[in-house]
Structure 1
Amino acid sequence: MLLSLLLTLNTFFTAAPTPDWKTPYEKSNRTKTATYQECIDYYQRLDQAYPEIKMTEMGMTDVGKPLHTVIISTDEDFDPASIHRKGKTVLLVQNGIHPGEPEGIDATMMLARDLMQQKKLKSQLDNVVLVIIPIYNVGGALNRNSHTRTNQNGPESYGFRGNARNLDLNRDFIKEDSKNARTFATIFRTWDPEIFVDNHTSNGADYQYTMTLIPTQHNKLGGALGTLLKQQMVPALYKGMEKRKWPLVPYVNSRGESPETGIFGFMESPRYATGYTALFQTLGFVPETHMLKSFDKRVASTYDLMLEFLDYAAKHGKEVQAARQKDRAALQTQQQFVLNWAPDTTQVETIQFKGYEAKYKPSEVSGLERLYYDRKAPFTRPVKFFDTYRPTVTVTKPVAYIIPQAWAEVIERLKQNQVELKRLSKDTVLTPEVYYISDYKTGPRPYEGHYLHTEVQVQKSQQPIQYFKGDYVAYLNQVSNRFLVETLEPQGPDSYFAWNFFDSVLGQKEHFSAYVFEDLAAQYLQKDPKLKAALEAAKAKDANLAKSAREQLNFIYRNTPHFENTFMRYPVTRWLGGALPVQ
């Protein structure tokens, strides 16, 4: 009987061995990054093994595969609203937006496992919920190769920067050309995280650091959160990483060939991940490991930095939440909004920078002088750091924006980002403030599928406009205020106008035949002395106009009721006050 029992127990333990929780990265002796399927399979195993982990499909990507989130919640509450009611801090970590920069993919897989298996680490989740996007650019991850990251030291193979539509997803957060970006908006607005981390690998100069860091630009973030970020959180992260033997430095964004010329804080407009998340008062970070350091060191430093984010969220989550609530309350009454920024070079900090001497030698390719960094000549010396930005374009917010329903692509994006919208309950004529586009520049080549407009200038007027039942109204009394201003004001660098959503208003639709309009133009000059005087004054200033019969007719045409008033008129108007018939 005893022998039979022993044999039964032996069979049981042989049939059910302890699971092997090593990641593909660890199994490869830290030389390979997990494939898309290996990554998803690993998280599914964690989901099945631990009730504190839940893996969810949140929407589709352009390649036809779903975008997942992995939620780690120690009280097994996976409802975002409930989690926020409990006062827990939400940390959202995104990996693989550029799958050729895969450190976050492998580091986060190990972190998720260790949070479950190491009691000391797991305790950090008592008041924090970790939400992970395992691989954001699924199409890029499936397009695997060993060559496109030319400047990078490992791993053996990796994904491609462009997604299934060859879009750089880190330029797509506002225009949302990709399904990935539209699904991300759902994830982000649903979870409304206090802290967001988007893991990357750098390019650029050579230096001694393994990890560099881009925090949300503190002036752009502004308010209590901007102060907390600059004065408390960033210094705490630097101190923590120093203890872990991974000294940090700001992302090496220099204007010259060498970092010694000075480093500029990165100003991320809303097209970028952290520029987008800042619109909703989220502390955003882009860790950028150095491409020339070995892959294992890059993964290890990413792992440790994520521990520092968790540690800060656990210890200071309440402070972050209080600052966020203060900023969101202030946002309701804020009148002035900044649309664009420039570095203030009169405000300079000094950092001790650990670099390598930049030197020159003859190129073996061209025979001309080439730059190289001499790793046999390391140095530590002061470098200027420009991390203050000043506003260059500011706008006063309206009471509301009115968006005609004809502009469905814009409406769709507003809804995707959970903007609160109302609709006109009847056909009506209103007199809002109107913009006319008076000048703009357009890039000569496509950028991420668009010909981006810049240096936009506008002229204001007020005029009656016919609106129809169902046209949309967005009041500026909501969490989405900054998002609305920076996307709907045409002068914003990442406005929907800048991204070509309104280009059809830039084309004139009606014209005149000169031989017909000649007689009518003469009548206008006879009846309107002011128009005649204006034409003569314009001719005196412009020799080309004085020599061109067609242009003189055009001058008259533009100053008569025959000229269409919708030409160059921006369709989104600004409502400055008074009740609107909305439902």
Structure 2
Amino acid sequence: MHRQAVLFCALVGVHLLGSILLEQAMAAEPAGEWQTRAEATNYRRTSRYDEDIAYAQRLAAASPLVQLQLLGKSPEGRAIPVLVVSKDKAFTPEAARATGKDIVLVNAAIHPGEIPGKDAGFAFVRDLVISGKHAALLDGAILVFIPVFGVDGHERFGPYTRINQNGPEESGWRTTAQNLNLNRDFLKADTPEMRVWLNVFERYLPDLIVDTHDTDGADYQYNLTYGLETGASLDPALVAWQKVAFEGEIFPAVAGRGHVVSPYIILRDSKDVSKGITQDPSEPRFSTGYGALQNRPTLLVETHMLKDYKSRVTATYDLLVEIFAHLKRYPSELRTLVARVDEQTVARGRRYDPNFRYPLTFKLSEHSRPFQFQGFETTLELSAVSGSTWLRYEPTKPKTFTIPLFDEATVEKAVAPPLAYVVPVSLTEVIDKIKAHGLRHRTLDGPSTLTVETYEFSAPVWEAAPFEGRIRLKDFKLTPIRRQITYPAGSLVVPLDQRAANVAIHLLEPQGPDSLLQWGFLDAIFEQKEYAEAYVMEKMAREMLARDPKLKAEFERKVSEESAFAASPEARLEFFYRRTPYWDDRYNIYPIGRLTAPENLPK
């Protein structure tokens, strides 16, 4: 039967299945040694890192279907636990891919104060392999589960982490020991934790990513909200799969288990619900944005922190059950689709098309559609404390509003991808990032003089304060240029006929919102290192004017037409300095070259 033709029947079946499974779950609550810390305390508490490692070790020891991998070291010396759960005992990446099954990577505790995914994930693994309640769900997929991603933040443990969170009694801190937010680090990969994650991703190449969080921002009836990429950053075929799989089947089934489900809620105006909500495309610093670059559907799970902890854990648990149930009903459907999109990405990189524009940034249009928002009555009061207005929610008075939803994204900046990039060996941090993302590349054996496209910058402006440990480049102007550059031995050539080409584009194209240029990895190109003394340049300028009438005319025109130039002795002398062979021809020039002609590719 055709995939779409079964949708209605599947929905009916899903709701019936959900009711049956819920009854079974209520009748088979785990007892004794296999209860998680959350379950054993009636969801008042969550476990510590050492307890989590011990529980993961017990799962691996008790079941031949589980392998525990302790990978890398955090800044404070903790390994990141990864549980691989496979009915076929396919624990290596090679064995897992060879099964033909979908591989699902589930992140928990990327923000360790938002911990439902860990407790839900542990319970889910247990019910896959110990209680056997959901053993059949492993028929369709392999689970790669990271129960604690932000391991150091997890152990900054206490009751005062998130100010209005409704349980557990104590939890971890949002950021790493270096005070960096892992869910802003996917592309720049500054943290050792993220480099471990990228290694796991590159080796296993999961077909679906699930990233679990709690959210606040507003109060409403939903206990489970979600985010999915639907813009041009994700292939339309994968967007269509998400719509059928998640919106058509999985989310209705989760709602059938008693949860109130909604797209992620971001109010346009935090004090006026009637102005609506927005759903922006994610930038690649986020899990959802990065997953889109890798051609992987990525589900952002945001349970509502004001709901009790049990509600949040069980919502996440039920969501995992329904995801795996869906993958079992349609075995390898997602994997086949992902493989096809990967192949198309590789094929796109085999020829340069100046008319093809790959999107880098997006903006939301003012077009909206009606959305039935299940919220609460609110009142807006003048506050004697803050001196501003105060939005008060009335949680005992549920109310459904019809409000606008703004989710129509249009492309703001785009670029024609080259055939390859050339990165000089001197850019060691850039090369480290290329390698961290597993991008295929080759190294020049000797010096190569190449004709490349690149950019000349002007008017750079930096942010006034650090963000994620770096001073970002806020704004700049760029002009495309062509020039010959000699790249030393050891320089990297990064071709775009590869599966992860979109990652390379976002790392290396300056206008990418999380490009390495904008994160400050190439700031030195904006620094002038050699200068001409005024007494030298005064004499040289007169000599240049005397022998070059065209230069004299150009200078006199600038003086007469540009008042700022005319009023600046420094600018007037620099006019001449720039036209001498002493001027630094690398100043404000992007050193990473774009190769667009096959004949210019180094042999």
Distance 1:280 1:290 in 2: 28
Match runs of 1:510-529 below 5 Å: 510-529=530-549
1:329 has 2:349 as partner: no
Q: Could you tell me how far 1:340 is from its partner in structure 2?
A: 0.6
Contact 2:232/2:359, CA 8 A, preserved across alignment: no
Matches within 5 A, 1:76-155: 76-119=89-132, 121-155=134-168
Give the direction of change, closer, same or farther, for the CA distance of 1:439–1:230 in structure 2 (3 Å limit). farther
Q: Does 1:47 find its partner at 2:67?
A: no
CA offset at residue 559 of structure 1? 2.9
The answer to whether the Cα contact below 8 Å between 2:425 and 2:489 also exists between their aligned partners in 1 is no
Give 1:261 shift: 1.4
**1:294 aligned onto 2:314:** no
CA 1:323–1:25: 2 relative to 1, 3 Å: same
Could you tell me which residue of structure 2 aligns to residue 398 of structure 1? 418
- Aligned-partner Cα distance in 2 for 1:391–1:356: 35
- Following superposition of structure 1 onto structure 2, how do residues 58-457 of structure 1 map, counting pairs within 5 Å? 58-119=71-132, 121-257=134-270, 258-334=272-348, 335-346=356-367, 348-363=368-383, 365-366=385-386, 369-457=389-477
Could you tell me which residue of structure 1 aligns to residue 8 of structure 2?
none
Cα distance in 2 for partners of 1:375, 1:19 equals 36
User: Retained in 1: the 8 A contact 2:109–2:117?
Assistant: yes
Deviates more, 1:314-323 or 1:506-515: 314-323
Partner of 1:3: none
Contact 1:398 / 1:575 at 8 angstroms: preserved in 2? Answer: yes
Is the 1:270–1:276 contact (alpha carbons within 8 Å) kept by the matching residues of 2? yes
Which of 329-338 and 25-34 deviates more?
329-338
Shift of 1:376: 3.2
The aligned residue for residue 351 of structure 2 is: none
Give the superposition deviation at 1:547.
2.6
Deviations 1:100-119 (A, max 9, x none): 11111111111111112344
Q: Quote the Cα distance in structure 2 between the aligned partners of 1:410 and 1:55.
A: 32
Q: Is the 8 A contact 1:451 1:499 kept in 2?
A: yes
CA distances 1:521-570 after superposition (whole Å, capped 9, x unpaired): 11212222222222222222321321333321111222332211100111
Instruction: Name the SS for the 1:432 alignment partner.
Output: strand
**Aligned with 2:310: secondary structure?**
helix
Does residue 459 of structure 2 align to residue 459 of structure 1? no
- How do 1:459-478 and structure 2 match up within 5 A? 459-478=479-498
Are 1:397 and 1:485, in contact at CA under 8 Å, matched by a contact in 2?
yes
Q: What's the CA shift string for 1:395-436, capped at 9, x where partnerless?
A: 001111000111111111111211111111222222211211
Deviation, 1:582, is: 5.3
SS of residue paired to 1:354: strand
What does residue 534 of structure 1 align with? 554
When the two structures are superposed, what TM-score results if normalisation uses the length of structure 1? Answer: 0.93
The 10-residue stretch of structure 1 (486-495 or 368-377) with the greater mean CA deviation from structure 2: 368-377
Tell me by how many angstroms 1:579 deviates: 4.4
**Contact 1:425/1:581 (<8 A) preserved:** no
d(CA) in 1 for partners of 2:277 and 2:200? Answer: 33
Does structure 2 retain, via aligned residues, the 8 Å contact 1:95–1:199? Answer: yes
Q: Please tell me the residue identity of whatever aligns with 1:126.
A: D
2-side partners of 1:317 and 1:265: how far apart? Answer: 30
TM score, norm. by length of structure 2: 0.90
Contact preservation (8 Å) 2:357, 2:414 = yes
Among 65, 70, 74, the alignment partner of 1:57 is 70
Matches within 5 A, 1:12-31: 20-31=33-44
Q: 1:318 to 1:388 in 2, by over 3 A?
A: farther
| Alignment RMSD (CA, Å) | 1.8
Q: Distance in 2 between matches of 1:318 and 1:69?
A: 23
What is the Cα deviation at residue 263 of structure 1? 1.4
Q: C-alpha displacement at 1:581, in angstroms?
A: 7.4
Name whichever of 221-230 and 107-116 sits farther off: 221-230
Cα distance between partner residues in 2 of 1:476 and 1:535? 44
- Look up the match of 1:7: none
Aligned to 1:508: 528
Cα contact 1:55–1:69 (8 A) shared by 2: yes
Which moved further from structure 2: 508-517 or 302-311?
Answer: 302-311
Q: 1:368 to 1:424 in 2, by over 3 A?
A: closer
Q: The residue matched to 1:20 in structure 2 has which SS?
A: helix
For 2:568 and 2:310, how far apart are their aligned partners in 1? 70
Shift of 1:227: 2.2
Q: Deviations over 1:417-473 (max 9, x none)?
A: 111111112222222112112344321000011111234431111111112222110
Q: Secondary structure of the equivalent of 1:544? A: helix
Match of 2:13 in 1: none
Q: CA offset at residue 231 of structure 1?
A: 4.5
Letter in 2 for 1:95: A
- State the Cα distance separating 1:375 from its structure 2 match: 2.0
Structure 1 Cα separation of the partners of residues 359 and 476 of structure 2: 15
SS at match of 2:53: helix
Query: d(CA) in 1 for partners of 2:207 and 2:52?
Result: 26
Q: CA deviation at 1:362?
A: 4.4
Q: Name the stretch that deviates more: 542-551 or 166-175.
A: 542-551
In structure 2, do the counterparts of structure 1 residues 231 and 323 end up closer, same or farther at CA, with 3 Å as the change threshold? same
1:55 to partner: Cα distance = 0.3
Distance in 2, Cα, partners of 1:544 & 1:361: 51
Instruction: Name the SS of the counterpart of 2:558 in structure 1.
Output: helix
Deviates more, 1:158-167 or 1:81-90: 81-90
| SS of match in other structure, 2:598 | coil
Counterpart of 1:562 (choices 582, 586, 589) is: 582
Kindly state the Cα deviation for residue 368 of structure 1 after the two structures are TM-superposed: 5.3
- SS, match of residue 290 in structure 2: helix
Change in Cα spacing, 1:369 to 1:548, as seen in structure 2 (3 Å) is: closer
For these two proteins, the number of residue pairs brought into alignment is: 565
> How far does residue 120 in structure 1 lie from its aligned partner after superposition?
5.0
Among all aligned residue pairs of Structure 1 and Structure 2, give the percentage whose two residues are the same amino acid: 33
Instruction: Work out whether residues 165 and 306 of structure 2, in 8 Å CA contact, stay in contact via their aligned partners in 1.
Output: yes
| CA displacement at 1:162 relative to structure 2 | 1.5
Q: How far is the alpha carbon of 1:317 from its aligned partner?
A: 4.5
AA aligned to 1:433 is E
| Corresponding residue number in structure 2 for 1:6 | none
CA contact 1:214–1:266 (8 Å) conserved in 2:
no
SS at match of 2:233: helix
Q: CA deviation at 1:137?
A: 0.4
- Whole-Å separation in 2 of the counterparts to 1:336 and 1:327: 17
Unmatched 5+ residue regions in structure 2? 1-30, 349-355
